[in-house]
Amino acid sequence: MSIPIRVLIVEDSEDDAMLLVQELRREGYDPTYERVDTPEAMTAALDRQTWEIVFCDYTMPHYSGTSALKLLRARDPDIPFIFVSGTIGEDAAVEAMKNGANDYIMKDNLKRLIPAIKRELREAEMRRSHALAEETIQHMAFYDTLTGLPNRNMLYDRLLNAIRTGGDKGRPMALLLMDLDHFKEINDTLGHHRGDVLLQQVGSRLQGALRPTDIVARLGGDEFAVMLPLSGSGDAALVAKKIQKALELPFMIEGLPVAVEFSIGVALYPDHGANPDSLMQRADVAMYAAKTTGEGYLLYEARHDRHSPRRLALIGELRWAIERSQLLLHYQPKISLKTGRVIGMEALVRWQHPEHGFIPPDQFIEPAERTGLIKPLTRWVFDTAQKQCLTWHRAGYEFTTSINLSARNLHDTQLPDELAGLLRECGGRPDRLQLEITETAIMADPARALEAITRLRAIGIRFSIDDFGTGYSSLGYLKKLPVDEIKIDRSFVINMAKDPSDVMIVRSTIDLAHNLGLKVVAEGVENKETYDRLGKLGCDAAQGYYMARPMPAENLTRWLAESPWGLNLR
Ligand code: C2E
Ligand code: CA
Ligand code: CA
């Protein structure tokens, strides 16, 4: 079986071109080739089809190799270009490589030809897949995969841009936040798939109802946002009515009419906030007020702030909870996909509230961040987890323990010293600990993140980037961070068994991370298919309900002894 290859030969001598072609055929290639020896002919050949590789003589009567190289590189930086020449001198050759030639081969030494081709084709392929992966990840960072709409990052960027370029006068604009009423019930009744279809239809109706210059974004779940320039103060109300009108008619989901209602909250720039965060927060407060009053649509007013309810009451109790040890840690194993054994445990905090029962971290981490309580909370988590880690090591388990840090922790300049102190007190080993920090937290203040990570790294603690794929992925920046691992966000992993586009995202993330020398953990592995698939994709480790849910340390002792992923110490 010969290997097809498309070769463009820039060469004045038909005989020399034939020699090349024969050499290719002898080595098992089946070349489709064309010989050209003028710029016009070369341009025409490049227009006619794509070539996999270009060979070029250095000196020709009507054309110079250097010009041919320039002509090619102006059109395509990636196609391998190899000089094949009888005359090229060492200096000229070096110069040619500098200008973008991939290699040069002497006509009387064609032995080097085939290895050079193989290498160049392989490298061109790697450049292509690398570029593709970068593109996918860039896209992922700014667009919502379900609806194709801009995501929260993109919206944030646009808001910031509009505010910055609006100048001092501050060109007015409105931010509308909306979410579907009772989406959870709808989702549970219709099933997730139909819920997704509904969200897609909502997205396209919104876009259809608005001007192309207005930005419609999906923020996640059933939350959408619209950002629009204002010309008069009544504009925002008009738009909100237009949106309500557009969503009034029932949606047809697999032939079934589904009616949905929305609550819309509006905040105006510059009246209600001077930056994206405060605008978002106030639109959110207005939306919440719209929901509780059943108003459908509300413009932010200061009195709405009072309505932001239970969350605030809880904060008062959180300080107490930390002191009275109402907090506890569950641990979730991390499994190596190479050995099929546990290699780490992630500590996840819970709040055992005397009245409200079990409160998940999603409900108190964020308020703890806003109020500064995150500091004592993190200190408690770190201390408790590292002691547990030590207990496991004394029992003979070699795995690492991971602790989650939040964005605010990075602002805490005392943290590295404090953590080092806690470790010293108990004689814990820093290299057995790993800190997880979300991509979003890092990108919120990259300079500070780099500093904090570098200082903690210096103690010997390793880092992992959490929820990868949901934040700004400035890859150039990631390369600079002294991190060891990324964790692909569970939103991409959960549907892998059903959704090929998620597989594609996961695959490119793995390839890219490996190219940067990082290990990859997939979280949210809920079934065997996904587990097996990840192994085949070369992913290093996995976490998820399929192998183990987060559980108290006591229960893990049993899990370690009995689970197929556990470790038998005897
Ligand atoms: P995370 O760091 O991404 O943690 C993983 C979350 O995914 C956990 O939720 C875990 O229970 C859940 N999970 C694990 N496997 C699966 C699966 O197969 N399917 C699904 N659907 N979910 C899975 P949890 O414990 O509710 O924690 C939520 C978030 O709260 C964490 O997300 C983390 O960002 C934060 N968090 C938890 N503990 C701490 C902490 O001590 N400090 C800080 N700063 N944040 C914490
Ligand atoms: Ca985590
Ligand atoms: Ca995560």
- Tens digits of pLDDT across the chain (570 residues): 789 999 999 999 999 999 999 999 999 999 999 999 999 999 999 999 999 999 999 988 889 999 999 999 999 888 999 999 887 777 888 888 888 899 888 888 888 889 999 999 998 888 888 888 888 887 888 899 899 999 988 998 899 888 888 765 668 899 999 988 888 888 888 888 899 999 999 999 999 999 888 999 998 889 999 999 887 767 888 888 889 899 988 999 888 888 888 999 999 988 888 888 778 888 888 888 888 788 888 998 877 766 554 445 566 678 888 877 899 999 999 999 999 999 999 999 999 888 778 888 987 887 788 777 899 999 999 999 999 999 999 999 989 999 999 988 988 888 888 999 998 988 888 999 999 999 888 877 778 888 889 999 998 999 999 998 876 655 567 778 899 999 999 989 998 988 888 898 899 899 888 988 899 999 999 999 999 999 999 999 999 999 999 999 999 989 999 999 998 776
Which pLDDT score, from 0 to 100, does residue 271 have?
A: 87
Residue 197 CA neighbour count, 13 Å, CB half: 12
533, 540 Cβ separation under 8 angstroms: no
Cα-to-centroid distance, 49 and ligand 2 (Å): 49
CA dist 473 → 109, 365, 486 (Å): 46, 23, 12
Cα-to-centroid distance, 185 and ligand 3 (Å): 26
Which pLDDT score, from 0 to 100, does residue 175 have?
A: 94
> How far is the C-alpha of 77 from the C-alpha of 453, rounded, in Å?
36
Cα-to-centroid distance, 403 and ligand 2 (Å): 7
Judge if the beta carbon of residue 526 lies within 6 A of ligand 1: yes
Report, at the CATH architecture level, how domain 311-562 is classified: Alpha-Beta Barrel (3.20)
Judge if the beta carbon of residue 545 lies within 6 A of ligand 1: yes
247, 202 Cβ separation under 8 angstroms: yes
Give the number of whichever ligand sits closest to the CA of residue 361. 1
Which pLDDT score, from 0 to 100, does residue 97 have?
A: 86
The residues of the chain that CATH labels 3.40.50.2300 are 3-142
Which pLDDT score, from 0 to 100, does residue 476 have?
A: 61
58, 65 Cβ separation under 8 angstroms: yes
The residues of the chain that CATH labels 3.20.20.450 are 311-562
Which of 410, 490, 492 to mutate to test ligand 1, by most ligand atoms within 8 A of the CB atom? 490
pTM of the model: 0.58
Q: Which CATH superfamily groups domain 3-142?
A: Response regulator (3.40.50.2300)
Cα-to-centroid distance, 348 and ligand 1 (Å): 6
> How far is the C-alpha of 432 from the C-alpha of 408, rounded, in Å?
24
Cα-to-centroid distance, 323 and ligand 2 (Å): 24
End-to-end C-alpha distance for the chain, whole angstroms: 53
Judge if the beta carbon of residue 362 lies within 6 A of ligand 1: yes
Judge if the beta carbon of residue 547 lies within 6 A of ligand 1: no
Strand, helix or coil for residue 8: strand
> How far is the C-alpha of 62 from the C-alpha of 96, rounded, in Å?
19
Alpha helices for 64-144 (secondary structure H): 65-75, 90-98, 113-142
Cα-to-centroid distance, 25 and ligand 3 (Å): 52
> How far is the C-alpha of 31 from the C-alpha of 8, rounded, in Å?
10
> How far is the C-alpha of 53 from the C-alpha of 9, rounded, in Å?
9
259: which residues sit within 8 A by CB, 6+ positions away? 250, 251
Q: Beta strands 297-299 and 519-522: pairing type?
A: unpaired
Residue 2 per-residue DSSP state:
P
Judge if the beta carbon of residue 490 lies within 6 A of ligand 1: yes
Nearest CA to ligand 1 atom 10: 550
Which pLDDT score, from 0 to 100, does residue 315 have?
A: 65
For 313, the enclosing helix (H) or strand (E) is helix 310-323
> How far is the C-alpha of 346 from the C-alpha of 466, rounded, in Å?
12
Which pLDDT score, from 0 to 100, does residue 474 have?
A: 57
Judge if the beta carbon of residue 412 lies within 6 A of ligand 1: no
Judge if the beta carbon of residue 332 lies within 6 A of ligand 1: yes
Alpha helices for 4-64 (secondary structure H): 14-26, 39-48
Strand, helix or coil for residue 436: strand
Which of 383, 523, 545 to mutate to test ligand 1, by most ligand atoms within 8 A of the CB atom? 523
Which pLDDT score, from 0 to 100, does residue 472 have?
A: 60
Judge if the beta carbon of residue 467 lies within 6 A of ligand 1: yes
Question: Residue 381 CA: which ligand 1 atom is closest?
Answer: 41
Which of 364, 402, 404, 408 to mutate to test ligand 1, by most ligand atoms within 8 A of the CB atom? 404
> How far is the C-alpha of 539 from the C-alpha of 523, rounded, in Å?
11
CA dist 318 → 305, 366, 411, 510 (Å): 21, 12, 21, 38
> How far is the C-alpha of 138 from the C-alpha of 475, rounded, in Å?
9
Strand, helix or coil for residue 211: coil
Residue 59 per-residue DSSP state:
B
Polymer length of the chain: 570
**CB under 5 Å of ion ligand 3: residues:** 466-467
Q: At what angle do helices 183-190 and 192-209 cross, to 10 degrees?
A: 130
Cα-to-centroid distance, 360 and ligand 3 (Å): 14
Cα-to-centroid distance, 465 and ligand 3 (Å): 9
Question: Residue 546 CA: which ligand 1 atom is closest?
Answer: 18
553, 329 Cβ separation under 8 angstroms: yes
Which pLDDT score, from 0 to 100, does residue 520 have?
A: 97
> How far is the C-alpha of 93 from the C-alpha of 419, rounded, in Å?
56
Q: Beta strands 297-299 and 262-269: pairing type?
A: parallel
539: which residues sit within 8 A by CB, 6+ positions away? 337, 488, 506, 510, 520, 521, 522
> How far is the C-alpha of 106 from the C-alpha of 117, rounded, in Å?
14
Residue 301: phi and psi, rounded to 5, are -140, 150
Nearest CA to ligand 1 atom 27: 361
Question: Residue 409 CA: which ligand 1 atom is closest?
Answer: 44
491: which residues sit within 8 A by CB, 6+ positions away? 469, 470, 524
Structure-block tokens of residue 30 = 């089946």
Cα-to-centroid distance, 431 and ligand 1 (Å): 22
Residue 487: closest CA among 434, 529, 431, 563: 434
Which pLDDT score, from 0 to 100, does residue 233 have?
A: 65
152-307 CATH pick, 3.30.70.270, 1.10.940.10, 3.10.25.10, 3.30.300.30 = 3.30.70.270
> How far is the C-alpha of 299 from the C-alpha of 282, rounded, in Å?
9
Residue 528 CB neighbours (<10 A): 11
> How far is the C-alpha of 54 from the C-alpha of 105, rounded, in Å?
13
> How far is the C-alpha of 258 from the C-alpha of 304, rounded, in Å?
31
394: which residues sit within 8 A by CB, 6+ positions away? none
Nearest CA to ligand 1 atom 43: 404
Which pLDDT score, from 0 to 100, does residue 280 have?
A: 86
Nearest CA to ligand 1 atom 3: 467
**CB under 5 Å of ion ligand 2: residues:** 404, 436, 466
Nearest CA to ligand 1 atom 22: 524
Which pLDDT score, from 0 to 100, does residue 167 have?
A: 60
Residue 551 per-residue DSSP state:
B
Residue 84 CA neighbour count, 13 Å, CB half: 28
| SS3 sequence of 248-299 | CCCEEECCEEECCCEEEEEEEECCCCCCHHHHHHHHHHHHHHHHHHCCCEEE
Q: What angle do CA 52, 55, 59 make, to 5 degrees?
A: 155
260: which residues sit within 8 A by CB, 6+ positions away? 180, 181, 183, 186, 198, 202, 247, 250, 251
Judge if the beta carbon of residue 349 lies within 6 A of ligand 1: yes
